[in-house]
Amino acid sequence: MISNLNNLFSDHANRMKRSAIRECLKLTQQPDIISFAGGLPSKTSFPYDDVQELAVQVLREDGAAALQYSTTEGDTGLREQLVKRYHAEGLDHITTDNIVITTASQQSLDLLGKILINPGDKIICGLPSYLGGISAFSVYGPELVGVAFDQHGMRSDILEEKLEAMRIAGEKPKFIYVIPDFQNPAGITMPEFRRKEIIELAHKYDVLIVEDSPYREVRFEGEAPKMMHALDKSGHVITLGTFSKIFCPGFRIGWIIAHTDILDKFVQAKQTADLCTSSYLQKIAAKYLETGMFEKNLSGIISEYKEKKEHMIRNFEKYMPEGVTWTNPEGGLFLFMYLPEHLDAGKLFFKAVEKKVAFVQGDVFHCDGTGKNTMRINFSFVDKETNTEGVKRLAAVIKEAM
């Protein structure tokens, strides 16, 4: 073995860290642990019979193309189906030329870093923000600048202060990273007025917005605000989507929607990574959308997750001690819990695992290391009976710490 591996690895490799969430999941593989940690869809949400039927149909009707390489941009049929869906969302200015299929949205995040970030560049993200995005960007050596949240998501007043301070210093961030719908981890949905405020600032300071939208379709209640890409058609917004939470994560299919000038660089970067996403899985996904099976199954997912979320909220109200609060999302898979400020969720995690319940500590979602008294809770995976027992165990751990 080489004597000094640190000298062997690239700067990119040395900046890599294991995912805190994936490491948590290792500790929760024991069958008797109730896990609220992962962002896992419910096993009952997967359309097993539909996938089996379509998999056979695709092989029978288009087997040669399904088992062959695809174009880097992605299967034309799948992109056409996505264009139809996004036209209905108000993105009537896009065509298939504005979409590239990726190997899930995590690849999209990595490609963003690859084509946009140089070491030392500034990237703006929320406090808190999606750990997978923070991790993907951090490999490329940027300075992550956090912007605090209020009940409407990223605060536009603080964002403007940060942007103005950078302008005065002769700097400009590469992009603003937001998850407007049922934000991971906070569960907050950004209202339309706040989206417009952030878009206005992006125009004023000539900055890109990355709109990460993996959960938008999983809405239980309320009215959906317009997508940021629909509110801004000037090319300032790059939108990321995925089937992982609305179809099945095992397919590893995501996509990027952007101006063609930007998208060409994504194509070049993807060609150095994997050449193309699975032709076979893309064709199955295209059929799934085309036949209407997607809408039928999504309706069931929404109904199931709404019931599970409401059940968890009732359990929190019944069992959590005074001083503990939480968000109540209108959709998605997560809510965020706030403990009294003197408590450290990182220390509580190991006590919770001893009690056979798990969560993700909230500070890993904060690029500045704050949020130590917070935790992310997933409500989509476990059944209602298990949820109740898990909340009882977690409440007991918190009460003991208090």
In degrees, rounded to 5, the angle at the alpha carbon of residue 209 between the alpha carbons of residues 203 and 213 is 140
Claim to verify: residue 306 and residue 285 sit in the same structural domain: no
Is 53 contained in some domain?
A: no
For 104-116, write each residue's pLDDT tens digit.
999 999 999 999 9
Question: Does residue 289 sit in helix, strand or coil?
Answer: helix
Claim to verify: residue 133 and residue 260 sit in the same structural domain: yes
For 265-317, write each residue's pLDDT tens digit.
999 999 999 999 999 999 999 999 999 999 999 999 999 999 999 999 999 99
Q: Tell me the mean pLDDT in the region 245-268.
A: 96
Structure tokens at 98: 């504005």
Is 244 contained in some domain?
A: yes
Is 204 contained in some domain?
A: yes
pLDDT of residue 8: 74
Residue 102, domain CATH: 3.40.640.10
Claim to verify: residue 236 and residue 133 sit in the same structural domain: yes
pLDDT of residue 346: 92
For 272-282, write each residue's pLDDT tens digit.
999 999 999 99
pLDDT of residue 24: 58
pLDDT of residue 220: 95
Nearest-10 Cα torsion for 161, 162, 164, 167: 170
Is 52 contained in some domain?
A: no
Claim to verify: residue 180 and residue 111 sit in the same structural domain: yes
The residue out of 245, 266, 291 marking a domain boundary is: 291
- The pTM score is 0.94
Structure tokens at 251: 């397919």
pLDDT of residue 252: 97
Is 197 contained in some domain?
A: yes
The residue out of 258, 291, 324 marking a domain boundary is: 291
Claim to verify: residue 90 and residue 231 sit in the same structural domain: yes
Please give the distance of CA 167 from its chain centroid, rounded to a whole number.
29
Provide, rounded to the nearest whole percent, the portion of the chain with pLDDT above 70.
95
Query: 313-342: b or e for each residue (b if 16 or more CB lie within 10 Å)?
Result: bebbeebbeeebebbebbbbbbbbbbbeee
Structure tokens at 168: 């005065």
For residues 191 and 330, give the distance between their C-alpha atoms in angstroms, rounded to a whole number.
Answer: 12
For 327-340, write each residue's pLDDT tens digit.
999 999 999 999 99
Is 55 contained in some domain?
A: no
Question: Does residue 180 sit in helix, strand or coil?
Answer: coil
For 11-69, write each residue's pLDDT tens digit.
767 776 665 555 556 655 677 899 999 888 999 999 999 999 999 999 999 999 999 99
Tell me how many domains the chain contains: 2
Claim to verify: residue 97 and residue 225 sit in the same structural domain: yes
Is 336 contained in some domain?
A: yes
Beta bridge pairs of residue 146: 125
The DSSP element (H or E) to which 310 belongs, if any, is helix 293-319
Beta bridge pairs of residue 331: 219
Claim to verify: residue 299 and residue 279 sit in the same structural domain: no
Q: Does the pLDDT value for residue 94 go beyond 80? A: yes
For 124-151, write each residue's pLDDT tens digit.
999 999 999 999 999 999 999 999 999 9
Task: Check residues 30 and 90 and name the one with the higher pLDDT.
Answer: 90
Claim to verify: residue 67 and residue 150 sit in the same structural domain: yes
Q: Tell me the mean pLDDT in the region 73-99.
A: 98
Claim to verify: residue 18 and residue 43 sit in the same structural domain: yes
The parent domain of residue 141 ranges over 61-291
Mean pLDDT of the chain: 94
Claim to verify: residue 30 and residue 74 sit in the same structural domain: no
The residue out of 265, 291, 317 marking a domain boundary is: 291
Residue 14, domain CATH: 3.90.1150.10
Is 219 contained in some domain?
A: yes
Claim to verify: residue 119 and residue 267 sit in the same structural domain: yes
Claim to verify: residue 116 and residue 198 sit in the same structural domain: yes
For residues 139 and 141, give the distance between their C-alpha atoms in angstroms, rounded to a whole number.
Answer: 6
How long is the chain? 402
pLDDT of residue 15: 73
